[in-house]
Structure 1
Amino acid sequence: MLTISEFGRRTGLSHKALRLYDVSGLLPPAQVDPSNGYRLYDEEQLERARRISVLRQLDMPLTTIAEVLAKSDEEALIRLDRWWAAEEATTAARRATLEYLRDRLSRSGSPGLSPRPVLIRDVPETKIASIRSDTDQQSLIGVIVTSTDDIRRYLESAGATLPGGSWVIYHGAVTPEAEATVEVCVPFDGLVDPSGSIAIRVEPAHREAYCTITMDECVYPRIMLAYDLVGDWVRSTGEATAGPPREVYLPDCHLLPRDQPAVDIAQPILERKP
């Protein structure tokens, strides 16, 4: 058995960190001396403690660390890769936001979004798997990336066919200060049952107005200019909305050059009767 001081020295963890991981359930001591309350650790806990230390250096939240540690090494690797992909997507979005702000400051008065048309299309009835989550602007990218990956993995394991692409429906206004519900949707063909947070439903056929933006433009706050463009068009033409707005991602849009069309900002509208 190792004292908390010896265990901390061998793992690089402070007393404060070890107490936190004890309270959170991540790393409880193997034994607590009933007479003096001293925490004692087993040498077999060293590897788990070192993994926690490394994951915390990556700024991984404790809840995610718990998920990683609860899985087999193979499953933990998949979870780690998914989390890191979400982190990289968030970093790319923040970088694009910074570039947008620098551009606006250096070219005061210039339009933040180049002119483009708003088009109309008819979307057929589509079977989808979806996950609903409450998120704010800071966590949004990570939620989208992680949920999309979770859905695709589940659909593939169930033998479904994925035609490609996905979309996110905004059931409320997601801002830096407030959370709202978003629904990540992945279309598929086949027979699949719902599982856990993954719901299976049919997206009704509908008509929608949309404009197309690049990945560089698909970041907050620049993306709001595209929403404004579509919203202004709907109001100016007298169309009636028929559901919440959405972002429709082209297949493998993350692999496209960041200055190429990749995402549609869409607003469902009512079909006009002849």
Structure 2
Amino acid sequence: MLTISEFGRRTGLSHKALRLYDVSGLLPPAQVDPANGYRLYDEEQLERARRISVLRQVDMPLTTISEVLAGSDEEALIRLDRWWIAQEATTAARRATLQYLRDRLSRSGTPGLAPRPVLTRDVPETKIASIRSDTDQQMLIGVIVSSTDEIRAYLGTAGATLTGESWVIYHGAVTPEAEATVEVCVPFGGLVDPSGPIAIRVEAAHREAYCTITMDECAFPRIMLAYDLVFDWVRATGLPESGPPREVYLPDCHLLPRDQPAVDIALPILERKA
């Protein structure tokens, strides 16, 4: 058995960190001396402790570390890759946001979104797999990417047919200061049961107004100009809204050039009565 000092020395973890991991259940000691409360660790815990230390160096939250280390090494690798893809997407979105702000500051008074039409279309009844999450603006991109990957992986394992597109429904206003519920949706064909956070439901047929933007224009806050365009058009035409807004991602949109059409900003509306 190793004392907390020896264990900390061999893993590079401080006493404070080890106590935190004990309280959180991430790395409890093998034994606690009932007489003096000293924590004792087993040598077999060294590898888990070192993995925790490395994951904390890339700022992975404790809850995510717990998920990564919960299963086999193969499962940990999948979860690790999924989390890192989400982090890179978040970083790319923040970089695009910064570039948008720099552009607006250096060219004050210029429009932030080139003129484009708002169109309408009929969307058929669609079977979808979805994950609902509460998130703020900072974590939004990571939530979208990780949830989409999780759903697609599950549907692929279940033998479902994928269409390539996906969308995100906003059940509330996601801002830098407040969380709201978003629903990541992936349409599919076939028979699939719900599993864990993944729900299976049918999205009703509806009509929607939409405009198309590029990946560069997806960055917050520039994307809000596209939402304004669609909402203003709907109000001007007097058509009642029939559902929450959504972002519809075209197949493989992340592979398209950043200045090419890639995402539709859409709002369900009621049919105009004759």
Place the TM-score, normalised by the shorter chain, in its bin.
Answer: over 0.9
| Residue aligning to 2:58 | 58
**For 1:78-111, what per-residue CA distance to the aligned partner results, in whole angstroms no more than 9, with x for missing partners?**
0000000000000000000000110111111111
- How big is the shift at 1:219? 1.4
> Which amino acid in structure 2 is aligned with residue 117 of structure 1?
P
Q: Select between 235-244 and 217-226 the one with higher mean Cα deviation.
A: 235-244
- How big is the shift at 1:273? 2.6
1:8 lines up with 2:11 in the alignment: no
Matches within 5 A, 1:84-95: 84-95=84-95
| Residue aligning to 2:210 | 210
Q: Secondary structure at the match of 1:188?
A: strand
For the residues of structure 1 that align with 2:104 and 2:119, how far apart are their CA atoms? 27
Q: Select between 57-66 and 194-203 the one with higher mean Cα deviation.
A: 194-203
CA root-mean-square deviation? 0.9
1:182 lines up with 2:191 in the alignment: no
For the residues of structure 2 that align with 1:126 and 1:68, how far apart are their CA atoms? 33
> Which amino acid in structure 2 is aligned with residue 244 of structure 1?
P
1:106 lines up with 2:106 in the alignment: yes
**Runs of 4+, deviation exceeding 2 Å:** none
Q: Secondary structure at the match of 1:59?
A: coil
- Structure 1 stretches lacking a partner, 5+ long: none
| Residue aligning to 2:153 | 153
| Residue aligning to 1:43 | 43
For the residues of structure 1 that align with 2:36 and 2:118, how far apart are their CA atoms? 72
> Which amino acid in structure 2 is aligned with residue 183 of structure 1?
E
**For 1:151-180, what per-residue CA distance to the aligned partner results, in whole angstroms no more than 9, with x for missing partners?**
111111111100111000111111111111
Q: Secondary structure at the match of 1:268?
A: strand
| Residue aligning to 2:79 | 79
| Residue aligning to 1:253 | 253
For the residues of structure 1 that align with 2:205 and 2:34, how far apart are their CA atoms? 66
Aligned-residue sequence identity (percent) comes to: 89
For the residues of structure 1 that align with 2:259 and 2:58, how far apart are their CA atoms? 30
For the residues of structure 2 that align with 1:238 and 1:272, how far apart are their CA atoms? 9
Q: How many pairs are equivalent?
A: 274
- How big is the shift at 1:39? 1.1
Given the two structures, how large is their TM-score scaled by the length of structure 2?
Answer: 0.98
For the residues of structure 1 that align with 2:257 and 2:5, how far apart are their CA atoms? 51
For the residues of structure 2 that align with 1:11 and 1:194, how far apart are their CA atoms? 40
Matches within 5 A, 1:183-198: 183-198=183-198
For the residues of structure 1 that align with 2:134 and 2:9, how far apart are their CA atoms? 40
- How big is the shift at 1:236? 1.2
> Which amino acid in structure 2 is aligned with residue 178 of structure 1?
A
**For 1:173-208, what per-residue CA distance to the aligned partner results, in whole angstroms no more than 9, with x for missing partners?**
111111111111000000111122211111111111
| Residue aligning to 2:162 | 162
Given the two structures, how large is their TM-score scaled by the length of structure 1?
Answer: 0.98
Q: Secondary structure at the match of 2:149?
A: helix
